[in-house]
Structures are given as structure tokens and as C-alpha cells.
Structure 1
């Protein structure tokens, strides 16, 4: 399930952007996605506190709390998965806004009025390339700027590079991590295309066990190891025939969190805070337990 949030004080702008996003998902035959909206930055923050978003489209000029204030709060929150934040403005040549967006760790800066081409570029990069890493089509459009490659993060002792540097290089085999992440991605696709629920639960249980074993080498993740064991025990006891659709959705949420975390920490080594995984896993697991 892909979750997208649009924050704009103009309801007409929200409606247009929803249509552009819907068009992209329809063209790419992706049915499991949800679009939420907020009319100001304060509402956007409230949404972020209650849902894990893949992408946030954030307008700069909004009442109550503007887009920059909201972006700063989002980036300062201890989220296991930081969303991709795309800042929008009606002024393309305002270098002050561009630089501010970049310094606040926006992923991209796009210019209004928004076009289907611009939205396609954003979703191709942040969703399509995530589903299919080999999809690296060249895009040319003067109405957006990607900041991703230019982002730099000061180490505060919790970043992935710092964390991994405190352990011997051979403590983990990256091929094992890559194989696990690939299995997670494959399971995501199985769920999205409605595979047999019994197969999904079996594969999910296997992934939880492999994840648990890989993490045993790191004393910092002992709570997470225990949590994964608890999830595995629970998932094998649930009445899958009664709760088939809800169970699939909750497993998807959990596997997406784990997949992104393993990849960002161990493969890309670009996670800003490696210790915030438990909270998101616990939240999703609590939702799963409430389905009983």
C-alpha cells in the first residue's frame, strides 16, 4: 500500500493533484494506494503522526503553519521511515525558497501549476523506481529540481555510517541482506497482487525469522529481535480465513517498514537514525493484533 499526503490550502489544487496522481497509478496498474489531504501544515503534521507516508506534496504558502515549518517538524521527528517530501511553489526563480527547501532536506522542489509530466516524473522516481530499480528512464523537465543527491547529513552518533563503523566490516554478509531485501520486495508484490493468504503468511514468517537471526549480531536491536519473534508467533495463530484482506494489508505495512530499514541501514548506509525502527513496527503490530 502506497500512502500519499497532499498539503495545500486550496482545495481546487488538492483536487487537481489527486487527479494527476490517480492517472499515474492507473497507467501503471497499481491499485493499492491511498491519498490523504491537509489544508495547512499543522493538519499535515497531525496526519504524519498517525500514518506512515511514502510521499508528501507540501505547498509552501499555507495558513496556520506554512510548508517550511511543517517540513522542519517532519524531518525532526523520530520516524522509522522518513517520507519523500516534495515542496511546491508558484515561483520557479525564487532561489531563497529553493535553498531553504534543500536545507530542510526536501527531496524535490516543483513549480505550480502542476502538470501531468511533472507528477509522472516524481512518482516514477519515488515509487516506480522503488518497485522496479531497473526503471531509470531519463527525464527532462525545467519545472522541478531533485535534491536527493546533494543531501548531506551530519553524524550525531545514530547515523548508519557511524553505527556500522563501530562494528567489524565482516559482521554481516551484504549478500545475505540483499537476498533478504529482495525476498521482502517480492512479498510486497505478492500481497499487492493478491497472492494466496496462506503463502503470504508462510513467506512473511520466514522473513521475520531471517531478519531476527541477522539482527542477533547487534546488541542494540535486542528489543527488535524480541518484537519480531512476537510478531511471528502471533501471525501463525491468526484466523486467516476470517481476516484475509485486513491481514494482508497489515503484513504489507510491516514488510515495507522492515524492507526500507534494512536497505537504508545495511546496504545504502544512509539512514539518519538507526534506532527509530521499533516504534513504527510496534504501531503496525498493534494494529495487526487489534484485528483479532
Structure 2
């Protein structure tokens, strides 16, 4: 906890280095060298790739295009299939403990901040830069710390349940039953294949996002040694971090939107299990049939 608080204090002090005109007390020569107009087309390393992607705004347009496609797919699903409804009058099954719910809540709050602020930073020039974008950058950094705190409990409580199983293939083949209005038992354990995919994107991917984000944010403070250890120059660490961070960011944002739709809309009332800890028996029997059978065999229903 002391290390976490120290990191938080360090991050806040770093945010305070920003001056009113938008510049930073520690103007970075590395960032200046990394600007698109300063990269030579014949340069070795990640320079040409960084120039190609960043110079053409592929990151910024890519995230908007993908998220627009996801939202369009959600609207079609809602209009054609609609959400599934399960009885709330039956037995309740205790699914998530207090620590699980609190850590999930911290992760949810952090992602609700991380995704929009990340997109705003991608489109920083459209928003005119300055104070608004700088505030988003600072919120992005604080939300990252909150997410980092939420990761260890989720890994401890959920990793074993998130491991792939044979029946996950069957789940994928029928898309978890989401494309059918009929309620039939779906092959899934406590977590279905979709939730498992989100977990393995959000947790390992999130840790990589934290590492690459820190490499960019604290570039002048910490990465000279890191760069030497990796056998790379500081500018190469910056470019590689930016490329990985942006690509992973787009993937994570896409999965995050899918997760929200599935939990809050596609399955009516499912999101409350992360508030109360309880799932409806009918919902578990249909959407998590293998886990339901497991609970029955243990006499826990």
C-alpha cells in the first residue's frame, strides 16, 4: 500500500509540472525528436512505421470507425433480437464476494474514464489542445492508478475460472445464444467465452497499457535506464510504446463497449450481480449451464 501511495503522489506531482500555457517544466527533447515532422523517411527502427500511422491519423480514425461499427451492430441486435429477460422471482445464487465486486467496481470506474480520455487525447488537435486535453491526460493518469489497484484481486479470484475450456468452442459457435430469441441452455461455466476473452484482453493487455503509458509519461525520468536495458534508444522506446499503447487501446476500447452492452442491455438486469453479488437462478441455468450443474452436484442450489 505504501508503494501504491508513493506512486500516486509521484503521479500527482508530475501532473503539477504542467504550466498554464500548456507546456511542461521539463520540456522533453525525446518527445520533440519524436514529432512526425522530425522523422526521416529513410530512418531505421520504428520511425517510418510511427510516421506512417501517426502522420496519417490512423489511430484516431481507426478508433472512431471501429467503435461506430460496434455501436451500429448493437443497435441492430437490440432492434432485431432484443435483450433477454429472466425471472427475478426465483432463487438467488451468490456469485461474487465483496472483494470481487469492489475490485470490479474500481476497474469499471477507471475504464469509464480511461476510454473517453484516451480517445480525446488521440483527437487532441480537434479539441484545440490546451487545458481541456491536459485535464483529460491527467484524469487518464489517475484512472490508470485506480485500474492498477483493481488488477491483483481480480487475478487472484478469477484467473482459474477464466482459463479456456472445451465448451468455450461451442459457446463461440453459437455466439453464446445472443443471436437467438429462444432461451436454451448455453455451454458456459461461471464465466462464458466472451467474458473470458474480455478478461484476457483487459488484464494482461491492461498491464501492457500501464507499462507503455508509464514509459511515455515518465520518459525523461525513468526510461534512459530502461532503454539501455532493452538495447534501444529513448526515442525508439517512445515510438514503440506509442504504437503498442494506441493499438491495444483501440482493442480494449472495443471490448469494453461490447462488455457494457452485454452486461447492461443484452441480458436485462445482469449488471446487478456486480452490485448485489447475486444472480438469478434461471439466468445461471440458461447462460451458465455448466456452472449450474456444478453447483447442483455440490448441493449449493
Fold shared by both chains (TM-score > 0.5): no
Q: TM-score range by the shorter chain?
A: under 0.3
Q: Which has the higher strand share?
A: 1
Higher RCO structure, 1 or 2 (CA under 8 Å, sep 6+): 2
Provide the TM-score with structure 2 as the length reference.
Answer: 0.24
Bigger fraction of residues in helix: 2
Scaled by the length of structure 1, the TM-score of the pair is 0.25
Structure with the greater alpha carbon radius of gyration: 2
